Structure 1
Amino acid sequence: MSIEQVKKNDIRAFLAQAGITPVKETPSGGMYLSPLRKEDTASFHVDYTKNLWYDHGAGVGGSIIDLVMRMYQTDFSHAVSYLEAPDLSRVQ
């Protein structure tokens, strides 16, 4: 599987599978409580059209690979391997 194919994994579905749901949602995007840090006001935005995320409170964002790397504190190759697996519910 190519990196571009891995990046097509849906961020919204990935977050939902992790039990993270949007606080506010439109057809093109959603605002979430950050999965990267503790916060009381949603500042984590997912652009559903571009399949990209941005954490306004932390000033970081990117693709689903970047999100997996940050959420699970892993490196690029482990994040890609994780996203290539058919069962996204298994988190190491």
Structure 2
Amino acid sequence: MRISRDKLNKLAHTVADTLAEIDEVEFKEDRNTIRQEARKAMEQELLEEMKIDAAARKKIESQRKIILEGSQEWDILYRKYYTDEVKKLGIDH
């Protein structure tokens, strides 16, 4: 999934603002640093997601027969290959 930079920044602001409202949370850095780190973490997660998606799609494309995206067979294979890639990377999704 691709998210625009503006939306990612908006999400990061929301994360920092929400954390600041929680009494049990104490920032050791300023709010802007927290926001930037939240944005970096989300960017990294989205990058991993894109890599997993690309690997699953590549496996489907490598099949001997053509499997149309959106078909039930494609969806089943995509979920299987996506899950396989997640397991291979040791990511808990």
Q: Select the structure that is richer in strand.
A: 1
Q: Which has the larger radius of gyration?
A: 2
Q: Select the structure that is richer in helix.
A: 2
- Common topology (TM > 0.5): no
The interval holding the TM-score normalised by the smaller chain is under 0.3
With normalisation by structure 2, the TM-score equals: 0.27
With normalisation by structure 1, the TM-score equals: 0.27
